[in-house]
Structure 1
Amino acid sequence: MRRKPLCFPPSARSLSQRIRGDAMTVAEKAQALLRRRLCSPTFAHAAFKSSPESNYSKLRFLISSSIAEACNNSVLLLGPRGSGKIAVVELVLEDLKAEHPDAISVIRLNGLLHSDDNCALKEIARQLCVEHQLLFSKMASSDDNSQFVMDMLRECGLAHKTIIVILDEFDLFTQGKQRLLYSLLDAMQTLISQAVVIGVSCRLDADQLLEKRIRSRFSHRKLLFVPPSKEDVQRLLECLLHLPKDSSFPSKYVTEFNRRLSNILSDKKFKEVLDSLLDVDGSVSNLLRLLFRAVSYMDMESGLLSLENFKSAYLCTYRQPKIDNLEDASILELYILVCMNRLETKEQNSYNFNSIMKEYKAIHDAYKTSDNYANNVCLRAFEHLLEQELIGFTDSKGRTPSIEFHPVKLLISSRELYQGLTSNSSCPAILQKLFDHESYK
């Protein structure tokens, strides 16, 4: 007779594994939620919707008034790449389509693809045909497409339907004869048409590229997209990374996650990482890339973010070969770099190898250091720094035998130099003290 297997209660080890597996599932869901937020530029810019001074509010008012009053408008959205121009446009259109589902028709063009007038008119005609379920002819001539576009503008105006034309990379449409821009803006001068032209460009002088006949028909409205302030960045971080309390996540986990995140955001070291990031590129898209990497590094066992996640994300985002070179630099090379930095701090605009050696001697005499090198040894270290491109000549006449007489400059910032000094294991303490004294951190 076969014995039945004995049934033992689950051991403490298997129970802990099961609890850990549940925690991993919650952490994965939280990570997926944060990733979806960070991959959606519109979600990031939605945090500023409530502000009446935001570009979202201004653009929404402009388009909604054009729809309500059946008038024509044109506007330029100007700002550096990654500042959220297109994201704000998409956010406004999404809200207006929900409010006016049958009163908007959107045409999207990109200067990288449609800068040619004939190509642009053909693409506008194709999109209008798709929007209004009409048959599009690929064999139509440029004049036929132009006439069709003008007729559609008139018909949509009679039907109280606003056509919104988005011209991304607007400055590329100003090349050539600008026939497309003239046709659109000239058609908007009539009372029958009902359209809004939105130009998007990273060139702040995009309106100055327009011909005089087109500039006279343009409304000269411009919205500038600038990097967010520190207060806006703090508000954006909380909006992007805090878990919602009214969600399917366990309340204790949400409370602990948000508490840990608040501690990180208020940490001085995190603010240093954030300042270093914003000093290089203060755009919202750059911030989203850093946060996405940090969330990807999240510890899945605890399900919580840590300061190390953000530090690792920053180091991975910005590889710093100059700082890597400083880690292997000799003591003499570090002295030369510090002397050059001191000369630039004293606003000495022009200096050469001989000036650097005078500063080096002044440090040696003042602090009685044991690091004293011959002039020819210093010159070889100076040449090595030139080869590594940590320093460079201020003019093009530097490739001569007597390089010690030609003006030079630092090719690294004070922050990078300080990081290099702290990461170099052989760096004398006196050099770091000099930076502490001069507040170079």
Structure 2
Amino acid sequence: MAAALTLLRSRLCDPTYIHAPFKSSKQSNYSKLKELVSGTISDSCNNSALLLGPRGSGKVAIVDLVLEDLKAENPDSISVVRLNGLLHSDDTCALKEIARQLCLEHQLSFSKMASSDDNSQFMIDMLRECGLAHRSLIFVLVEFDLFVQGKQRLLYCLIDAMQTVTSQAVVIGVSCREDADQLLEKRVRSRFSHTKLLFAPPSREDMKSLVEHILYLPKNAGLPSEYITKFNAHVQNILNDKRFKQILDSLLCVDGTIGNLVQYLFRVVSSINLESGLLSLENFKNAQISCERQPTIETLQDASILELYILVCMNRLESKEQNSYNFNSIMKEYKSIHDAYRTSDNYGDTVCLRAFEHLLERELISYVDHRGRYLPVEFRPVELLISSHELYLGLKSNSSCPAILQKLLDHESFK
């Protein structure tokens, strides 16, 4: 039914609904962040924290969820200023944006002609006034690592003001770089709290529970009760099917973030049969195929046998935790494979070097850095730009790929 499709799509577009299950655990990042910000509101103190994790792991969604709940509990005690490093990494621009948002929040007139020093002083004055009024200022800095480039004047000015005036404020930095705190200058790091919340990919069990949370229809959805019962029974059968577990494992091997799962489920829901109004395992399979249609895998479909050998050799070197290797190292691995399995695919170094350079041109591999750009190609360190799972799918899709290559690639986790 169209009403069920609309309901499921609205859920998938609502980060608050998606991350709601994580609110119940006291060990969740939601609970930890809420406790930190609540401490600032109740105890009139200053705090700072960094939220670190890969893109799509729900960092910004958790911040929004916490602030939404705290605003409902303390409607007149919170002011929020949001900055994004992609837009406001320049100190002058950032201070101007802070002044604009504070003026808008507190119904003050904003001067576009104010200097950077004026805006900086205005921010300090507002921190003081809000502190005296027992109102907490919360600064959310998305793409935090972009704010630490240059002289870090904004961060120093903000953190220093929190130390020297009567204020109650929180600075929340959000970054996909786990070493973001190490990028801070000593004068900023000494004033910045060492609180870090790491957003690791959820477990498979948590992901399955999240799928249930998103796809199950509630009894009060305004739909016929018989249809709701039948729909939920279909979903339950799919989730218990071994083939679904294989699909979920394959999906999580490529990208285990919640954002990737949500995008996948949106494809699933969008292919629902409107006549029956029910989901089927085919919807999940087709969505997986659609997700796997990546340019990288399509490029591997046209790769030569020799190029596939080189990629597999590089993957094997990385699985052996050999972090630095070059063309000569790859050739040693290639010859060891030939000697061990007595394959008929034996090519000379000159032909291999041409295939190696072709992979560089197609950007399937690349040089590690440019410091050795004056070295011969054979000696420059290289790295693989595709994951093991992408390589495995590429080998499967290449009709001329020798069977031995798929055996050489450790793909037990992809089955």
User: Does TM-score exceed 0.5, indicating one fold?
Assistant: yes
Normalising by structure 2, what TM-score? 0.81
Q: Does the CA contact (< 8 Å) of 2:315 and 2:388 recur in 1?
A: no
Find the aligned partners of 1:75 and 1:338 in 2 and give their Cα distance.
41
Q: Deviations over 1:144-171 (max 9, x none)?
A: 2112111111111111110111111111
1:173-322 map, 5 Å: 173-190=147-164, 192-320=166-294
Unaligned runs of 5+ in 1: 1-26, 364-371, 400-407
Shift of 1:302: 0.9
Q: Does the CA contact (< 8 Å) of 1:295 and 1:305 recur in 2?
A: yes
Query: Is the aligned partner of 1:121 residue 2:84?
Result: no
Q: Deviations over 1:29-73 (max 9, x none)?
A: 111111111112222111110010110000111111110111111
Q: Does the CA contact (< 8 Å) of 2:366 and 2:385 recur in 1?
A: no
Residue 109 (structure 1) aligns with? 83
Query: Is the aligned partner of 1:39 residue 2:13?
Result: yes
Bigger Rg, structure 1 or 2: 1
Change (3 A) 1:217 1:341: closer
Q: Does the CA contact (< 8 Å) of 1:323 and 1:419 recur in 2?
A: yes
Shift of 1:246: 2.4
Find the aligned partners of 2:204 and 2:246 in 1 and give their Cα distance.
12
Q: Does the CA contact (< 8 Å) of 1:418 and 1:432 recur in 2?
A: no
Q: Does the CA contact (< 8 Å) of 1:109 and 1:120 recur in 2?
A: yes
Secondary structure in 1 matching 2:256: coil
Find the aligned partners of 2:366 and 2:99 in 1 and give their Cα distance.
56
Change (3 A) 1:357 1:204: closer
Find the aligned partners of 2:340 and 2:367 in 1 and give their Cα distance.
19
Change (3 A) 1:120 1:433: closer
Query: Is the aligned partner of 1:98 residue 2:72?
Result: yes
Query: Is the aligned partner of 1:140 residue 2:114?
Result: yes
Query: Is the aligned partner of 1:69 residue 2:29?
Result: no
Q: Does the CA contact (< 8 Å) of 2:307 and 2:355 recur in 1?
A: no
Find the aligned partners of 2:44 and 2:404 in 1 and give their Cα distance.
69
Q: Deviations over 1:13-40 (max 9, x none)?
A: xxxxxxxxxxxxxx11111111111112
Shift of 1:318: 2.4
Shift of 1:120: 1.2
Residue 140 (structure 2) aligns with? 166
Find the aligned partners of 1:201 and 1:230 in 2 and give their Cα distance.
24
Find the aligned partners of 2:154 and 2:410 in 1 and give their Cα distance.
61
Aligned sequence identity (%): 60
Change (3 A) 1:182 1:44: same
Aligned Cα root-mean-square deviation (Å): 3.9
Find the aligned partners of 1:164 and 1:103 in 2 and give their Cα distance.
11
Q: Does the CA contact (< 8 Å) of 1:390 and 1:412 recur in 2?
A: no
Q: Does the CA contact (< 8 Å) of 1:156 and 1:194 recur in 2?
A: yes
Q: Deviations over 1:247-285 (max 9, x none)?
A: 211111111111111111122221222112111111111
Change (3 A) 1:145 1:276: same
Unaligned runs of 5+ in 2: 323-328, 369-374
Change (3 A) 1:123 1:386: closer
Secondary structure in 2 matching 1:199: strand
Find the aligned partners of 1:54 and 1:397 in 2 and give their Cα distance.
51
Secondary structure in 2 matching 1:282: coil
Change (3 A) 1:431 1:61: same
Q: Does the CA contact (< 8 Å) of 1:341 and 1:410 recur in 2?
A: yes
Secondary structure in 2 matching 1:223: strand
Q: Does the CA contact (< 8 Å) of 1:182 and 1:214 recur in 2?
A: yes
Find the aligned partners of 2:98 and 2:319 in 1 and give their Cα distance.
59
Shift of 1:346: 11
Shift of 1:105: 0.5
Find the aligned partners of 2:366 and 2:166 in 1 and give their Cα distance.
63
Q: Does the CA contact (< 8 Å) of 1:391 and 1:409 recur in 2?
A: no
Secondary structure in 2 matching 1:189: helix
Change (3 A) 1:268 1:328: farther
Q: Does the CA contact (< 8 Å) of 1:257 and 1:304 recur in 2?
A: yes
Q: Deviations over 1:199-250 (max 9, x none)?
A: 1111111112222222121121111111111121111111011111222111
1:11-22 map, 5 Å: none
